[in-house]
Structure 1
Amino acid sequence: MKIGIYGQFYHKNSEIYIQMLLDALQKKAAKVLIEENFLEIINQNQEITKNFSECSTFTKLDSSFDLFFSIGGDGTILKAVTFVGDLGIPIVGINTGRLGFLATIQKETITESLNQILEGEYIISERSLLTVETKPESEEVPTLNFALNEVAVNRRNTTSMIKVETLVNDKYLTSYWSDGLIVATPTGSTGYSLSCGGPVIDPDSKNMILTPIAPHNLNARPLVIADSNTVTLKVYGREETFLMSMDSRIATLKNETKIIIKKADFTIKLVQLNDDSFIKTLRKKLLWGEDKRN
């Protein structure tokens, strides 16, 4: 079994969970590689007494990996997706952050959960992604032009609204006068889109969500469409440029650049414990069904 481990930065007490993970993998005689920059962060942190410098490292993944562990919050999982790409390697999220909608393992149950996963007692949740094309092409758009959560356009260096002309399958839908527009996947429905009033969508749904950000036209509402559609955006504003983000990756584009958003032709595999479900996660994270009146 070949395992990759990744994290963006050090969370408090992270060394405890890293050591527990390494101990569990060692018992399984797994070949373990830690992402190069993350290993450097681990060894530089003064709170960590154990030296992990002898661990093998990687800078890129290949299809020989069996599992990829992400240690951190949902943002770390989004970055982990850029390593995995279309390789089909299942991602296991260990949540050492806060809310953690995407994480497989909560730190309070790490030992039990790790044992289940390493025994193969889990299921795979296939998550759709979005891809982006711009016309004209822009050097600002990274080669990793896909997003697990959302593609969003936002105003830049101005307090003025922008106009986001929106087409679905080349047919004019509307123009959003707003701070921006989010095009989200079902996975992303519990992220930026939710904070802007978008609906919660089951990740198995074959949809995408259009959620305006602080719209001026008050009749503008979030819209759910089939993910077989193509969404095209054009942005106009007082400034010459605007921002486009793909999860956490940001590009600066010139006004009137055409942004073409489609469903990607590959999926991301998230490991899910057998007794977990999206409904259970919603109840736990959003405190649904709990009486808080007392």
Structure 2
Amino acid sequence: MRFAIFGNTYQAQKAFHTRTLLKALESRDAEIFIARDFYEFLVSELKLNIKATGLFDENNFDADMVICIGGDGTFLKAANRVGRKGIPILGINTGRLGFLADVSPEEIESTIDDIYQQHYTIEEKSVIQLVCEDNKILQTSPYALNEIAVLKRDSSSMITIHTSINGENLITYQADGLILATPTGSTAYSLSVGGPILVPQLNAITITPVAPHSLNVRPVVIRDDWEITLDIESRNHSFLVAIDGRNETLKDSNILTIRKADYMIKVVKRADQSFFKTLRGKMMWGIDSRDAMHCVSTE
């Protein structure tokens, strides 16, 4: 099999388990192609002697599977570079929570075994796209696997976000920002500001305000084939747009449109994984801390 490897290039400890991954792949005579920035990081920071089939830059790669090692941020960057290639992505989590990169370092060997035995599933994740009136204005990729957020730039004044769905007025938000999230992103930034959790199989987008001025404003869930239009006003005539964490400053004269992209991202899941199992394991879903305290006190 041919693998393309991405990884965290900022923290050496998060890349340490790459050694285990590479040994597991080498033992199976895999073709190993590594992102050049990650390769240089491994050689300079970890002093690894790496035997790679080849290196690649940006989106210039092809593979049977992509493996990224790091946290969910690393996974999102890899997904952006995979784009429309349709290559399934496996995430090895050396970060904190790990909803997307959900294979633990201790599971690397067994997971590679499962891949070669075809004992895994692939989930297709929807992607959303940001379109500006001036298509040349965005400096980064307009596609998001998790969320697109518009946010105020300063610490004092809110922004005004005139929001329409399929051309019909929804509401004008007075808030610190607005998050539009896919089901994949519903457990990320959106959840932290009170948005709902969506199961991966839903064809939906959540619209969640950040610190709204009105207490009766609540998150809304809509179909993902509907089009959202945002007309934003701010005191300093600019605002931030964050696309899976890639930030840009835009002028408030720009009308933004968010719609479902014309491709999906394929995510590799181990056969024994499920969304609800991940919720329970990663978020302590349904765990009563009083029970844990009682167990400690009686031992």
Deviations, residues 24-73 of structure 1 (Å, cap 9, x unaligned): 1112211101100111111111xx34322766211144574101011100
Listed as ranges, the matches of 1:14-93 within 5 Å are 14=14, 16-45=16-45, 48-52=46-50, 56-61=54-59, 64-93=62-91
TM-score (ref. length: structure 1): 0.94
Question: What CA distance in whole angstroms lies between the structure 1 residues aligned with 2:15 and 2:235?
Answer: 48
Which SS does the other structure have where 1:85 is aligned? helix
Q: 1:116 aligns with which of 114, 121, 131?
A: 114
Q: Percent identity, aligned pairs only? A: 42
Question: What CA distance in whole angstroms lies between the structure 1 residues aligned with 2:16 and 2:154?
Answer: 42
- The corresponding residue for 1:102 is 100
- The corresponding residue for 1:148 is 145
TM-score (ref. length: structure 2): 0.92
Quickly say closer, same or farther: Cα 1:54–1:279, change in 2 above 3 A.
Answer: closer
Quickly say closer, same or farther: Cα 1:16–1:225, change in 2 above 3 A.
Answer: same
Does residue 231 of the first structure (1) align with residue 228 of the second (2)? yes
Shift of residue 175, structure 1, vs aligned partner: 0.6
Which SS does the other structure have where 1:39 is aligned? helix
- The corresponding residue for 1:171 is 168
Deviations, residues 128-168 of structure 1 (Å, cap 9, x unaligned): 000111113342343x2100000110011342000011000
Quickly say closer, same or farther: Cα 1:239–1:71, change in 2 above 3 A.
Answer: same
2:125 and 2:200 in contact (8 A); partners too:
yes
Which SS does the other structure have where 1:163 is aligned? strand
Shift of residue 76, structure 1, vs aligned partner: 0.4
Shift of residue 9, structure 1, vs aligned partner: 1.9
RMSD of the alignment, in Å? Answer: 1.7
1:125 and 1:270 in contact (8 A); partners too:
yes
- The corresponding residue for 1:274 is 271
Question: What CA distance in whole angstroms lies between the structure 2 residues aligned with 1:214 and 1:177?
Answer: 9
Shift of residue 244, structure 1, vs aligned partner: 0.8
Q: Which residues of structure 1 form unaligned runs of 5+?
A: none
Which SS does the other structure have where 2:288 is aligned? coil
Question: What CA distance in whole angstroms lies between the structure 2 residues aligned with 1:44 and 1:63?
Answer: 23
Q: Which residues of structure 2 form unaligned runs of 5+?
A: 294-299
Quickly say closer, same or farther: Cα 1:10–1:156, change in 2 above 3 A.
Answer: closer
1:7 and 1:70 in contact (8 A); partners too:
yes
